[in-house]
Each structure stands twice: as structure tokens, then as C-alpha cells.
Amino acid sequence: MGETVKEKKQKKSWFKGLKAEFSKIVWPDQKSLAKETTAVLAVSVLLGVIISLVDLVCRIGVEFLVK
């Protein structure tokens, strides 16, 4: 059915609060964003390699024990 006046005020208040919170955000500049993105990608690749190596060692170990 229809919204009550109280519900409409609550929604309006919520969006007003959301807008106020978004105005508080400090967005990074392009240089720091590029550095942070590079760091995240490097750590992700490094962890991927480490996990792959651990998986390979475990697989070889299990195959050795089974045979």
C-alpha cells in the first residue's frame, strides 16, 4: 500500500545522512591510488605463487606417500 508520512521522513533522513557521510570521504589522489593498486596486485600475485608452490609440494608429498 502507500507509505506513511513517518516512513517517508525516515527515508529522506536516511538519504540525507548518507549524503553527509559521502561528503566526509577523503578520496586518494591519482599517485597514491596507483601506488596502492600496484601494492595490492603485487601482494596478490605473490600470495598466488606461494599458494601454488605449497599446493605443488603437498601434491608431490601425497603422491610419494601413496605410491
Q: What is the pLDDT of residue 1?
A: 55
Q: What is the pLDDT of residue 2?
A: 59
pLDDT tens readout for residues 2-53: 567 777 778 788 889 899 999 999 989 999 999 999 999 999 999 999 999 9
Distance CA(42)–CA(20), nearest Å, equals 35
Number of structural domains, the chain? 1
The residue segments making up the domain with residue 54 are: 5-66
Dihedral sign of CA atoms 8, 9, 12, 17 in order: negative
Q: In terms of pTM, does the model score above 0.85?
A: no
Q: What is the pLDDT of residue 14?
A: 86
